[in-house]
Amino acid sequence: MHRQSWFILLLLTLGFVFLYAPIVSLVIFSFNSSKLVTVWGGFSTKWYGALVQDQQILDAAMFSLRIAAISATLATILGVMAGYVLVRFHKFRGRATFSGMVTAPLVMPEVITGISLLLLFISMEQLIGWPQGRGLTTIIIAHTTFTMSYSAVVMRSRFLTLDISLEEAAMDLGAKPSKVFFVITLPIVAPAVISSWLLCFTISLDDLVITSFTNGPGTTTLPQVIFSKVRLGLDPKVNALATIIISIVAVGVIISSFYMRHKERQRQRDEQMAIRAASQMA
Amino acid sequence: MASDSTSPLRAGGVGKTGITRLMPFSTGLHALLLKLGLSSRNCVILVPYIWLTLFFLVPFFIVLKISFAYMTIAQPPFTHFSETGHLSLNISDSYGRLISDRLYIDSYLNAIKMAAISTVLCLLLGYPMAYGMARAKPSTRNILLMLVILPFWTSFLIRVYAWIGLLKNNGVINNILMAVGVINEPLHMMNTNFAVYLGILYSYLPFMILPLYANLEKMDLSLLEAAADLGCKPLKAFFVITVRLSLPGIVAGAMLVFIPAVGEYVIPELLGGPSTQMIGRTLYNEFFSNRDWPTASAVAIAILILLVVPLAIFQRYQDKQMEAAE
């Protein structure tokens, strides 16, 4: 048993080195003064300065942030509904199709989702004249569609572990189902809603392939700019940009995981107090 | 107890005046919707249902339709059924090209091969990692889990880009190896199939680890103790009990890696060489460089046909997981 755990520990360490070495190297070389990205020429922050002055990158970043915020909001609303339906409504016509449509976009190759959405938009434009051309609207629809699956999966697992007795109590006291949902259910699952929104936001912000299919000629998103730069070779500005993105994400994930754990402990304490109070009253 | 405990719950309905003010409007709307046969329950089902049908299901039929169209030099570059006046099914054109042109068959088979090998690589590295995580102390477990999830939140494109810096001829790995004196000439790693395997393994490893971890963490360890008591060697117990019981996790992880990897575009485009043809890359180039939309659609249909079985397996696992959780 001992020899086995030593082997596992070695592989675990190697695995994490493998996962993080490229990221660490990316961050280190963003502070490289040499234009040859992988040859160290001394410490410098000049690429960050160059990044801030690159209007093309800034415009693309603003465009991407706008798309991500809108589509994450839409996707989360739809995802909450879809997750709720999957957990609470067991019998309705077409349930199997519904659950298939909710989970399939998670694994569907992006080139397929991309081409099919583009052909849909073009057919719709020919039929009903909407959407006119491609750009913000079509990208938002595309991103909402494939990120809502992520949201639905997050919400589904949250609703599965949700104690139904509180809702039943409210129902017994005469609250309408819609009121129960907004006053009781939604506040309880709020942390999951937030993390679902953040997940959809980052996935949308990162998408290249589906965006390439559904974007028009007039606009470019941040991944499209990065991709066109990367295709030409290494670019220290991309390293600087990557470092900024990684820092924001790392700080965000660490803070939110501590916050979630804190909330979870608080909730457990509250529940225990409630149980104790109830047993004393009885 | 009854009379005491109801009062704080009643206090929960403080906003009563606000609610009553909205009452005529909301009941009116509600009545209207009910008249249309739409209870609030049906609305909740219908909104995501219609969205997904319109933007996920219907598009596949449009792809199917266009894969039978002719390519024209126009905008958009394909013919319409309405223009010819009759339904001209054009099987020989785009599908014929798929079969006759070696490029399509080769990149199709190559994509299957590379996705399958990458899936096995992910399993070989991901399984011991998930196992080690599941057997770690609970406090360490959460940190390790966070470390696996963290790269998933950072940009996929940037993580692939990071490998270019490592693998290039004058990249970090070659520089280190040459400085240490292991090699005299740089190893050619960039723009090879090796780089693509590495890129897929790197990008999809978390997708393999997470379902495996979820499965292994729940495993009943007393089964292993019982096996040991009965004289079963640890290694045998590992394969007979642990691996056997984690089979659903293995299947889920394998599908999460294999299905998207088959259609991968970014990794072969950035890390692979010109000879690294994968069907997703072929489709993308067919669409954007050659502007042959009917053939690109036919390629998409061919990929979908390949993925029907894996998708069904993935779906069954999802359903089973739901049942188990309920």
Phi-psi region of B85 (alpha: psi -120 to 50; beta: other; left: phi over 0): left
Chain B: give the shortest CA distance to residue A251, in Å. Answer: 10
Provide the pLDDT confidence category of residue B72 given band limits of 50, 70 and 90: low
Contact A141 B55 (CB under 8 A): yes
Set of chain A residues whose Cβ sits within 8 Å of the Cβ of B128: 7-8, 11-12, 15
Chain A: give the shortest CA distance to residue B100, in Å. Answer: 22
Give me the number of domains chain A comprises: 1
Set of chain B residues whose Cβ sits within 8 Å of the Cβ of A223: 155, 157
Nearest CB neighbour to B151, from listed A23, A175, A231: A23
Contact A145 B175 (CB under 8 A): no
B186 in contact with A, Cβ within 8 Å: no
Asked which of A55-59, B41-45, B54-58 is least confident by mean pLDDT, the reply is: B41-45
Contact B132 A141 (CB under 8 A): no
Across the range B156-180, mean pLDDT stands at: 90
Quick one: pLDDT at residue A271?
77
Q: What is the ipTM of this complex?
A: 0.89
Set of chain B residues whose Cβ sits within 8 Å of the Cβ of A265: none
Tell me how far apart the terminal alpha carbons of chain A are, to the nearest angstrom: 51
Helices (H), chain B: 2-10, 16-35, 40-52, 58-66, 81-84, 91-100, 102-134, 138-153, 156-167, 172-180, 193-217, 222-229, 234-237, 244-245, 247-262, 266-271, 279-288, 293-325
CA angle B267, B273, B277 (to 5 degrees): 70
In a domain, A46, yes or no: no
Across the range B252-273, mean pLDDT stands at: 94
Nearest CB neighbour to A119, from listed B62, B163, B269: B62
Chain A: give the shortest CA distance to residue B35, in Å. Answer: 18
Set of chain A residues whose Cβ sits within 8 Å of the Cβ of B171: 38
Supply B255's token pair: 């599908």
Among B residues 24-43, those touching chain A with beta carbons less than 8 Å apart: 40-41
In a domain, A179, yes or no: yes
In a domain, A137, yes or no: yes
In a domain, A113, yes or no: yes
In a domain, A55, yes or no: no
A104 in contact with B, Cβ within 8 Å: yes
As a whole number of angstroms, the distance between CA B25 and CA B32 comes to 11
CATH code for the domain in which residue A94 is found: 1.10.3720.10
Asked if pLDDT for residue B3 goes beyond 60, the answer is: no
Among A residues 146-205, those touching chain B with beta carbons less than 8 Å apart: 148, 152, 156-157, 160-161, 169, 173, 175, 177-179, 183, 199, 202, 205
Chain A: give the shortest CA distance to residue B223, in Å. Answer: 15
In a domain, A270, yes or no: no
Beta bridge partners of A32: A43
State the residue range of the domain holding A99.
Answer: 61-223
In a domain, A190, yes or no: yes
Stated pTM of the model: 0.87
Beta-carbon pairs below 8 A across chains A and B: 264
A268 in contact with B, Cβ within 8 Å: no
Contact A37 B165 (CB under 8 A): yes
Phi, psi of B15 (to 5 degrees): -70, 30
A19 in contact with B, Cβ within 8 Å: yes
In a domain, A124, yes or no: yes
As a whole number of angstroms, the distance between CA B142 and CA B153 comes to 16
Nearest CB neighbour to A22, from listed B49, B162, B318: B162
Residue whose token pair is 């039943």: A168
The CB-side HSE value for B172 (13 A sphere, CA atoms) comes to: 19
Residue-wise pLDDT for A127-143, tens only, equals 888 888 888 999 999 99
Chain B: give the shortest CA distance to residue A223, in Å. Answer: 7
Asked if pLDDT for residue B170 goes beyond 60, the answer is: yes
Quick one: pLDDT at residue B14?
40
Set of chain A residues whose Cβ sits within 8 Å of the Cβ of B5: 278, 281
A214 in contact with B, Cβ within 8 Å: no
| Collapsed DSSP state (helix, strand, coil) of residue B307 | helix
Provide the pLDDT confidence category of residue B81 given band limits of 50, 70 and 90: very low
Residue-wise pLDDT for A17-39, tens only, equals 999 999 999 999 899 888 777 77
Set of chain A residues whose Cβ sits within 8 Å of the Cβ of B59: 116-117, 119-120
Quick one: pLDDT at residue B29?
67
Provide the pLDDT confidence category of residue B130 given band limits of 50, 70 and 90: very high
Interface residue of A38, A90, A154 to substitute, partner B, most B CBs within 10 Å: A38
| Residue in B closest to A234 by C-alpha | B165
Phi, psi of A37 (to 5 degrees): -55, -35
Quick one: pLDDT at residue A222?
94
Q: Look over chain B and give the mean of its residue pLDDT values, rounded to a whole number.
A: 83
Structural domains of chain B sorted by starting position, each given as residue range(s) with its CATH number in brackets: 20-66 (no CATH), 96-325 (1.10.3720.10)
